[in-house]
Structure 1
């Protein structure tokens, strides 16, 4: 780190404090006297969202055109580290060309539950896969000298009440599941910034949490960059600064700058803490500003082609009975489904990209020499019955050899600020599939959406292709896979359950009011399904190909596994080989096996390659929360290699000498965890696991509302509080009624915002006195 102590010595206390928050919504403050420039931060997990007009966080105002790459949930299915780094580099190049210093991404929170409204922005349910992908995206973005900003640190597992919810999670699950991906991103990616989350973690707001910030982020991981709040994510500015949160965004109109100055003057905040924060900010400002002096011109057509390539490599062929795909040119093909003509290609909220161009599957397929006999919309996009649309679709299907049926989650189904109500597609889509299956035997379902869904139709169709949210070139990529011009190689980065009730966190998700209890602990996704032997629709790591691969010659050690993969089919393809480790004699409760390595290999027909997967320091370990360290138990560990977690091809045992540090687990008291019976975790077992008694998960209905409370809590009040809650709720319903789902979802941002943030978010336009009056009215009854 460059030494800026001389510059800091010349700064006034007010100037130092001014660097700790934004000048406006997207820029930091500049100090002309000392030639300290302002820098810009913008959203960008899968594309640059630099707003051209009046700035807002909710995506209401349009941003400048930029390449919309596939979302993280999509890219994760590629399991391709080189591709992820390339996409990151393209994102970084576009950001740099627009003089953006900090690109706010990637998002890498763990997919605890498929109903999280923002899962489309996150990579996986597995921390190892998540961390490796995030680290490579960070490297790519920062290859242009600007800063990546992994987010949201940490345990941002739900959108409902995200600005106040307290995520209650045991230390072992915190370290093994929710922080491990961030560890890889920080230690291997070396990000220049990191974004803290809105929520509390075990009673403390994330950006004030000394355990998360000082002990782990700065201590164990040696993070050298700047920590920035999520927009409006500051609670107590001085406490956040003490914990190591340097930059508050957006601007608060100087409100919190004054709080910092006063804290230093009264001795509440040591000036050395402020100086260190200023030094980190100066490092970020000057380093990224210098990098923006010589930027490259962006070739947007080249970037569009890269977006298509990224989508191709991320498409997952879930089912392909009787080799229905690829399509044959002599077949008469009917295209049905609104998503064919109007693609669902990205999420919503702060990641909403204005694409430079946009492909759609209907046009892409009609431009080929396929015998397309027609297209029908089939259903209303946002739900509701239409017999005429359905009848026309059924009539067209009866004239075809193959039906391409485009289904998916609409724009109102998954978005920032609100969680999904269920794992289902709209009823009208499900009804159409059922009736089509009654009149046709050759149906290929093409899915769009950023989250796992239930598929009651899976047995009734011959093939299922999942494009997830493929970005602006996703439709062209789908065409290439359907025609066989590209052999699909994507593998699921999350488990698809048969029904929502099977999800391990289902009984506890979401936390509705004060807290969200993670009673399932480490048993997230496949860690639960594979351990408890619960049947699933499609397992973690699953994905088919138009060719076949054979595995042989496994050799293992504590450091690595070496084996051979051969393409035994007739077309070239790529295989994602996955390595899992199974402890055979653990005395602590553990998942049956865990992902600890993977590699993607391209093979021509008949070609074979010997590959090697290295094992890192955490391959055999678990987090010992009693001694606050990573521990390894001495014993036998089975190394399993395969094509998915349920398709293991090779295995071998390795003997490992561990440290055998005492863990103090009481097997009888924690019996549900040893049996992975996580749907039935009582208070006694959960509190024993935590080592403390968590607070009441419900709000105190009788308590008066204060600055850390929300409009949502007004539903329990009489008079003005109830009225305010109803007005906001009706506004949401009205916006959905007039088909404005993005605006409707953003109403929840207002519903869940703590009263303390209103003066800051409005930069003082709504004063604390005005908020006091509102609270007085609410508390009057």
Structure 2
């Protein structure tokens, strides 16, 4: 019987592969037929923008325009075809989805996939073929203005989430455009800086999520970054685009420039860029327009190179706009709102709960003071970069009123002024960091007479923005003075921080009993927050990056490699990014990578590996039992790190290699297995240009943050 089933499965798999190969061969033949009918001028027209968010098709051959749109937070409002002004549609209100670091904080690939499906469905409703998302550059340093868009500091966590985001988007026949390739880790001088990164750091830290998104997620498009990498612009970097992306990784789709990110015609054409977007001046004068036509005619760019670009674009089209059974799409639906709520709920991180003030016991509370500008602020729009014209966005104050308003009186005080605009000069923004004593006095008076104070502080979309970096880790707008004043008069003060990147929380961590981190958390942010405060939802988020005690503790600052000298930023820390740096250098963080508390407790036991010794082509099967030892339903993220104590090269103290988010009822226990390929314990050998697993002892470390390891096992590799 076993033999029969095995034969059937082999036949089934072989048949499936054969059918797939036939389908791919047929598509290739169809594309080649179309290319053979095109003039050189028609081909060139497809390689550059013909409007702000589209590139040309060939109408006589039935090839449509290729349309794209931002972005990571949802489908942006419709703008005019040739300028950035609103088109003033009444049908383009969309779902505002939690920001990238919020998705990463869920530590749940299922949530990344649901995010992608919503993006894809809403893109279809708006007739967009490519979504410029997800963005998942490594969070190398905490000040980067786009940290809120990106995922985490860890390549493994980034990879799992990126793959699922891409699969979700593309399940709707919409292309994901993964970005920004590569080593775009600061906004300051982003369009001129030359990042110097050794190949080992590229392969181990900055490339893995892109590789996974392509090879496992089958991403249809990728966006080249603004910066130079090791001396060459990313949009014309032969090593990046041809050698690694197209040849090594087998990328079949199209490389799109960032908007205005092209610098030359011949170098970009020959070194792997396929579509030029966002350049300035008349469209027919762009680098990939008349200048490219002239370069082909003069022999500087081969016709076969042009044909390859057109084939890639057509391949993307046959998977998106020209695909069979193309979904109609839907926008701002209740189902999308539910997805936004679920992601937001799982992303919220409980940083501190010393006196068990949380969850709030609604029946015992008669008055709540909600304080802080962020309690009434929305985050769908602001600053530079993509925003969303949200159909609605529930503020923190609205969420708290909806959950507590029937049993308690709720009053509001602004507490501080967020007087900072991204497009202002430093002189115009001067004084933004000063406390407003009048507003503080009003907040204190309210807090004194309330049972509980909920203090909503942090950042906003103006302060954290594309095109600039923050200058420090300090909380903006004089917020610390407000926190100190309110806490002094009301011991039942809950600090709620809304931001997308690390801040200095030293004083808050020391002085305040309850601290909650909630991100720029989408259309349902206020409801998700209120449900966590009330205990309807047990917080399960974990930090996707390290919070340093001081900026000088972070690697780029400690090594004086940010923002760089002149136009060059040398990544001197190499592979020691994020927790790899703090753990290896024994630097105590403010909050470690992977950290987050719960309203219940968990225990981890019976940690074992299936063997004590492995060959290099085998898989380690680690097993453990996790139990909810508390009284509430909740989830723990169990994290498996691996260390290589004796190695011929520097290895980090530990590296995340697997994790599982486990949901448990009170008293429930589950046995979980995490698989790690021995090959994934390799380091990149720059001398041999290959991955290497050295024989010897490795240590498997199990815990719930990079700094809270509860179980270890030693294994050996032959």
Equivalent residue number for residue 96 of structure 2: 68
5+ long unaligned stretches in structure 2: 1-23, 420-431, 612-618
Say which of 516, 522, 533 aligns to 1:465.
Answer: 516
1:499 correspondence with 2:534? no
- In 2, the alpha carbon distance for the partners of 1:377 and 1:347 equals 19
Equivalent residue number for residue 453 of structure 1: 503
1:191 correspondence with 2:219? yes
1:286 correspondence with 2:352? no
- In 1, the alpha carbon distance for the partners of 2:200 and 2:496 equals 39
5+ long unaligned stretches in structure 1: 658-781
1:550 correspondence with 2:587? no
Compare 368-377 and 197-206 and name the one that shifted more. 368-377
Equivalent residue number for residue 51 of structure 1: 78
Compare 464-473 and 283-292 and name the one that shifted more. 283-292
Per-residue CA deviation, residues 670-701 of structure 1 (Å, 9 max, x unaligned), is xxxxxxxxxxxxxxxxxxxxxxxxxxxxxxxx
Say which of 7, 17, 28 aligns to 2:55.
Answer: 28
1:592 correspondence with 2:653? yes
Say which of 630, 655, 665 aligns to 2:716.
Answer: 655
Q: Kindly tell me: are residues 72 and 61 of structure 1, through their superposed partners in 2, closer, same or farther at Cα, counting changes over 3 Å?
A: farther
- In 2, the alpha carbon distance for the partners of 1:56 and 1:358 equals 27
Q: Secondary structure at the match of 2:524?
A: helix
- In 2, the alpha carbon distance for the partners of 1:142 and 1:190 equals 9
Aligned positions of 1:169-184 closer than 5 A? 169-184=197-212
Say which of 387, 403, 413 aligns to 2:437.
Answer: 387
Say which of 340, 349, 362 aligns to 1:316.
Answer: 349
Aligned positions of 1:331-346 closer than 5 A? 331=365, 332-344=367-379
The alpha carbon displacement at 1:224 in A equals 1.1
Compare 361-370 and 207-216 and name the one that shifted more. 361-370
Q: How many residues align?
A: 656
- In 2, the alpha carbon distance for the partners of 1:347 and 1:499 equals 28
Q: Kindly tell me: are residues 618 and 71 of structure 1, through their superposed partners in 2, closer, same or farther at Cα, counting changes over 3 Å?
A: farther
Aligned positions of 1:124-203 closer than 5 A? 124-203=152-231
Q: Kindly tell me: are residues 47 and 582 of structure 1, through their superposed partners in 2, closer, same or farther at Cα, counting changes over 3 Å?
A: same
Contact 1:78-1:491 within 8 A present in 2 as well = yes
Contact 1:55-1:61 within 8 A present in 2 as well = no
Equivalent residue number for residue 541 of structure 1: 594
- In 2, the alpha carbon distance for the partners of 1:66 and 1:609 equals 39
Aligned positions of 1:719-734 closer than 5 A? none
Q: Secondary structure at the match of 1:119?
A: coil
Contact 1:160-1:512 within 8 A present in 2 as well = no
- In 2, the alpha carbon distance for the partners of 1:654 and 1:54 equals 60
Per-residue CA deviation, residues 131-179 of structure 1 (Å, 9 max, x unaligned), is 1101110000000111001000000011111112100111111111111
Say which of 288, 301, 309 aligns to 1:277.
Answer: 309
Contact 1:335-1:372 within 8 A present in 2 as well = no
The alpha carbon displacement at 1:442 in A equals 2.3
1:91 correspondence with 2:129? no
1:226 correspondence with 2:254? yes
Q: Kindly tell me: are residues 313 and 94 of structure 1, through their superposed partners in 2, closer, same or farther at Cα, counting changes over 3 Å?
A: same
Contact 1:333-1:372 within 8 A present in 2 as well = yes
- In 2, the alpha carbon distance for the partners of 1:77 and 1:176 equals 22
Per-residue CA deviation, residues 713-750 of structure 1 (Å, 9 max, x unaligned), is xxxxxxxxxxxxxxxxxxxxxxxxxxxxxxxxxxxxxx
The alpha carbon displacement at 1:574 in A equals 1.0
The alpha carbon displacement at 1:359 in A equals 0.4
Per-residue CA deviation, residues 173-227 of structure 1 (Å, 9 max, x unaligned), is 1111111121111111110101110110000011211111122111221111111
Say which of 34, 37, 43 aligns to 1:16.
Answer: 43
Per-residue CA deviation, residues 595-652 of structure 1 (Å, 9 max, x unaligned), is 1111111111111111111213653111111111111111111111111111112211
Q: Kindly tell me: are residues 187 and 370 of structure 1, through their superposed partners in 2, closer, same or farther at Cα, counting changes over 3 Å?
A: farther
- In 2, the alpha carbon distance for the partners of 1:374 and 1:95 equals 39
Compare 516-525 and 147-156 and name the one that shifted more. 516-525
**What TM-score do you get using the length of structure 1 for normalisation?**
0.82
Equivalent residue number for residue 526 of structure 1: 579
Q: Secondary structure at the match of 2:186?
A: coil
Equivalent residue number for residue 561 of structure 2: 508
- In 2, the alpha carbon distance for the partners of 1:617 and 1:11 equals 49
Compare 610-619 and 267-276 and name the one that shifted more. 610-619
Equivalent residue number for residue 18 of structure 2: none
The alpha carbon displacement at 1:436 in A equals 2.2
Contact 1:442-1:461 within 8 A present in 2 as well = no
Equivalent residue number for residue 570 of structure 1: 631
Compare 536-545 and 400-409 and name the one that shifted more. 400-409
Contact 1:23-1:250 within 8 A present in 2 as well = no
- In 1, the alpha carbon distance for the partners of 2:715 and 2:483 equals 49
Contact 2:261-2:278 within 8 A present in 1 as well = no
Contact 1:344-1:448 within 8 A present in 2 as well = no
- In 2, the alpha carbon distance for the partners of 1:464 and 1:639 equals 32
1:398 correspondence with 2:426? no
The alpha carbon displacement at 1:374 in A equals 2.1
Compare 316-325 and 280-289 and name the one that shifted more. 280-289
Q: Kindly tell me: are residues 510 and 630 of structure 1, through their superposed partners in 2, closer, same or farther at Cα, counting changes over 3 Å?
A: same
Equivalent residue number for residue 482 of structure 1: 533
Q: Secondary structure at the match of 1:182?
A: helix
1:444 correspondence with 2:472? no
The alpha carbon displacement at 1:299 in A equals 5.6
- In 1, the alpha carbon distance for the partners of 2:409 and 2:471 equals 36
Equivalent residue number for residue 300 of structure 1: 333
The alpha carbon displacement at 1:50 in A equals 4.3
The alpha carbon displacement at 1:52 in A equals 3.8
- In 1, the alpha carbon distance for the partners of 2:467 and 2:679 equals 34
Q: Secondary structure at the match of 2:603?
A: strand
Q: Kindly tell me: are residues 294 and 89 of structure 1, through their superposed partners in 2, closer, same or farther at Cα, counting changes over 3 Å?
A: closer
1:416 correspondence with 2:466? yes
- In 1, the alpha carbon distance for the partners of 2:564 and 2:459 equals 24
The alpha carbon displacement at 1:398 in A equals 1.5
- In 2, the alpha carbon distance for the partners of 1:119 and 1:223 equals 26
Contact 1:69-1:470 within 8 A present in 2 as well = yes
- In 1, the alpha carbon distance for the partners of 2:53 and 2:181 equals 20
Q: Kindly tell me: are residues 55 and 126 of structure 1, through their superposed partners in 2, closer, same or farther at Cα, counting changes over 3 Å?
A: farther
Q: Kindly tell me: are residues 568 and 42 of structure 1, through their superposed partners in 2, closer, same or farther at Cα, counting changes over 3 Å?
A: same
Q: Secondary structure at the match of 1:254?
A: helix
1:253 correspondence with 2:290? no
Equivalent residue number for residue 428 of structure 2: none
The alpha carbon displacement at 1:589 in A equals 0.7
Say which of 286, 290, 297 aligns to 1:265.
Answer: 297
Equivalent residue number for residue 366 of structure 1: 401
**What TM-score do you get using the length of structure 2 for normalisation?**
0.89
The alpha carbon displacement at 1:232 in A equals 0.9
Contact 1:404-1:444 within 8 A present in 2 as well = yes
Contact 2:225-2:257 within 8 A present in 1 as well = yes
Q: Kindly tell me: are residues 62 and 622 of structure 1, through their superposed partners in 2, closer, same or farther at Cα, counting changes over 3 Å?
A: farther
Equivalent residue number for residue 634 of structure 1: 695
Q: Kindly tell me: are residues 405 and 528 of structure 1, through their superposed partners in 2, closer, same or farther at Cα, counting changes over 3 Å?
A: same
- In 1, the alpha carbon distance for the partners of 2:139 and 2:290 equals 39
